[in-house]
Amino acid sequence: MRAQFVLSEIGVGLRRNLTMTFAVIVSVALSLALAGGSLLAREQVNTMKGYWYDKVQVSIYLCNKNDASSDPNCAKGAVTEPQKKKIKNELDEMNVVDKVYYESSDAAYKHYKKQFKDSPLADSLTPDQMQESYRVKLNDPTKYQVLQTAFSGREGVQEVQDQRSLLENLFNLLNGMNIAALCVMALMLVVALLLIVNTVRVSAFSRRRETGIMRLVGASSFYIQMPFILEAAIAGLIGAGLACVLLLGAKYFLIDSWLAEKIVLINFIGWDAVIKVLPFVVAVGVLMPAVAAFFTLRKYLRV
């Protein structure tokens, strides 16, 4: 295979179809940016869920010695061993309860550190400031009230918290946006595919003389098809590059410079999450047009 020959063919092809190539690049860029964005939104949800979210529904936070001064529920000081035992026994006997986990303050600190590793909040706490807690998995998630009435206000208990009510709305919103983004992405992807198919078809048609002669003199179909496939892949690669720029730009301008300034308490996805998505974006951006071109050529460039 003569690289120079193939390269010059590609150059000619891309220039001949400049408007179509441009359309392919833009549609690939947009659909991939949306795809990457929706992956990142999912990542964002996972980041916010923390360690317990998918395992339990209710958290019973126990008082620690620091709370005694700040929180009226804990006026009597830190929770004692007998209090803890009693709570545990009662939880075990309740039939709405499926499973009970105990989280020590050390474990709580570890989970916290992990979740907020990218945030300045991570360094502001020490292990002994963390609360011990019972994390309860219910048979029926809607039965949160039962635990609320049983344990809130009890000595040693700071708060009974329905984990879900806290984040559920936000997650619903994010999921809704995610689904919308995926729908738009699917449409853009269809547009991109149709554009690629059409571009390749026009390209094959405008070069039918060359390809006809190539066939006659016995060029392999690989050799005949390669310029077309590379053409599509290069357009896809440029589109994917633009999509990457869009994603990085969104992280920098939208999240870091804007959202993170306004909302301090939410832990946003870090650069590592964004960078992890990029190879996927590039791979899809190159492979999808190449495969689409390959199948188009099977139809329009018979051996």
Partner 1 sequence: MIRFDSVSKSYPKQNRPALREVSLEIVRGEFVFLVGSSGSGKSTFLRLILREERASQGRVHVLGKDLARLSNWKVPQMRRQLGTVFQDFRLLTNKTVGENVAFALEVIGKSRGQIRKTVPEVLDLVGLGGKGDRMPGELSGGEQQRVAIARAFANRPMLLIADEPTGNLDPQTSVGIMKLLDRINRTGTTVVMATHDQQIVDQMRKRVVELEMGRLVRDQTRGVYGYQH
Subset of residues 264 to 303 that bind partner 1, contact rule: CB under 8 A: 303
CB of 214 to partner 1, least distance (A): 5
| 210 interacts with partner 1 by CB under 8 A | yes
State yes or no: residue 219 binds partner 1 (CB under 8 A).
Answer: yes
Which residue in the set 1, 3, 18, 265 belongs to the binding site for partner 1 (CB under 8 A)?
1
Contact between 214 and partner 1 (CB under 8 A)?
A: yes
Helix-, strand-, coil-residue percentages of the chain, each rounded to 5? 75, 10, 20
* Helix (H) or strand (E) segment spanning residue 238: helix 221-249
Residues of span 3-42 touching partner 1 by CB under 8 A = 5
Of 117 and 298, CB closest to partner 1: 298
- 61: tokens are 């936070």
Contact between 204 and 228 (Cβ < 8 Å): yes
**16 or 154: CB nearest partner 1:** 16
Q: Does 45 bind partner 1 (CB under 8 A)?
A: no
Q: Identify the H or E element spanning 188.
A: helix 163-206
Q: Does 212 bind partner 1 (CB under 8 A)?
A: yes
CB 52 within 8 A of CB 242: no
Q: Which window, 70-78, 146-154, 180-188, 210-218, contacts partner 1 (CB under 8 A)?
A: 210-218
Question: Residue from 52, 223, 280, 294 that binds partner 1 (CB under 8 A)?
Answer: 223
Task: Determine which residue in the list 83, 148, 198, 221 makes contact with partner 1, applying CB under 8 A.
Answer: 221
Stretch 98-157 residues interacting with partner 1 (CB under 8 A): none
**CB-CB neighbours of 24 under 10 Å:** 28
**18 versus 303: smaller Cβ distance to partner 1:** 303
Gap between the Cα atoms of 137 and 163, Å rounded: 11
CA distance 101 to 107: 11
Tell me whether strands 58-62 and 97-103 are parallel, antiparallel or unpaired: unpaired
Q: How far is CA 102 from CA 18, 84, 162, 222, in A?
A: 64, 10, 16, 63
CB of 289 to partner 1, least distance (A): 24
Q: Which long-range contacts (CB under 8 A, 24 or more apart) does 72-80 make?
A: 73/153, 73/157, 73/158, 73/159, 74/156, 74/158, 76/155, 76/156, 78/156, 79/132, 79/155, 79/156, 79/157, 80/156
Q: Residue 18 or residue 216: which is nearer to partner 1 going by CB?
A: 216
Q: Which of 3, 18, 217, 265 binds partner 1 (CB under 8 A)?
A: 217
Contact status: 209 vs partner 1 (CB under 8 A): yes
Q: How far apart are CA 70 and CA 45, in angstroms?
A: 31
Q: State which residue, 4 or 95, has the beta carbon closest to partner 1.
A: 4
Span near partner 1 by CB under 8 A; candidates 134-142, 192-200, 216-224, 267-275: 216-224
Question: Is the Cβ of residue 209 or residue 262 nearer to partner 1 in the bound state?
Answer: 209
Structure tokens at 117: 């590793």
Nearer to partner 1 among residue 60 and residue 204 (C-beta): 204
Interface with partner 1 (CB under 8 A), residue total: 18
State the residues that interact with partner 1 by CB under 8 A: 1-2, 5, 209-210, 212-221, 223-224, 303
